[in-house]
Amino acid sequence: MSAYLVLLLAVLSRILPHAFHAVNWNFTAVGGSLLFFGSLLKETASTAGKLFRLSIALLALMATDYYLTVYAFGYPFHVRGYLVTWAWCMAVCLLGSQLLAKPTVLRVIVGALASATSFFLISNFVVWASGELYPHTLAGLGTCYVAALPFYRNDLVSTELVAGALFGLPVLATKIVETIHAAQDDNMPAA
């Protein structure tokens, strides 16, 4: 259940800024949520169950991309324009399922860094290679990456914060409960 709530968080983090006309932040829960969603695949024993969960995640992100493209941006929707993004989403889920099946602080940091950095490198390469915005030269590729640095910064920060919260808050809650139980045990009179 928590996996689907996290997926909903990712979808809402992309849609709500457009609803409130606050889209200049590029602060979404997608990278961190996909890492967390992927880490929860270990709870599903069967391969078919894991594929079903991944399909649900992909369908939710596809529907979000369709909605944003057609209704928020007013552009025609072309599936081929999103194939690389959707492949990246599945790769991040799989990264989460492997790297974060047993999360540590270092693994969460590395997973979030890998998620945001890979999206920055891949998505901007696709913009450069398939578009008309930048010359198809090494200098054009460099210009494309430089222009995207503010977006990368915000994506990296949001991915680290969301992943840190999703993986860290349950650990913190467990520690608090253990501390409360230990304090109660210490205050109990001896029998």
- Label residues 146-159 b or e (16+ Cβ within 10 Å = b): eebeebbebbbebb
In angstroms, the CA 45 to CA 51 distance is 11
User: pLDDT of 85-124, one tens digit each?
Assistant: 999 999 999 999 999 888 999 999 999 999 999 999 999 9
Burial of 53 (0-12, 13-18, 19+ CB in 10 A): buried
What value does the mean pLDDT take over residues 6-25? 85
CA distance 81 to 112: 24
Quickly list DSSP for the chain: -HHHHHHHHHHHHHHHHHHTT-GGG---SHHHHHHHHHHGGGG--SHHHHHHHHHHHHHHHHHHHHHIIIIIS-----GGGTHHHHHHHHHHHHHHHHHTSS--HHHHHHHHHHHHHHHHHHHHHHHHHH-SSS-SSHHHHHHHHHHTHHHHHHHHHHHHHHHHHHHHHHHHHHHHHHHHHHHHHHHSPP-
pLDDT band at 186 (very low <50, low <70, confident <90, very high): confident
**In the predicted model, is pLDDT for residue 62 greater than 90?**
yes
CA distance 148 to 138: 16
pLDDT of residue 1: 64
pTM over 0.85: yes
pLDDT at 5: 92
Q: What is the pLDDT of residue 100?
A: 86
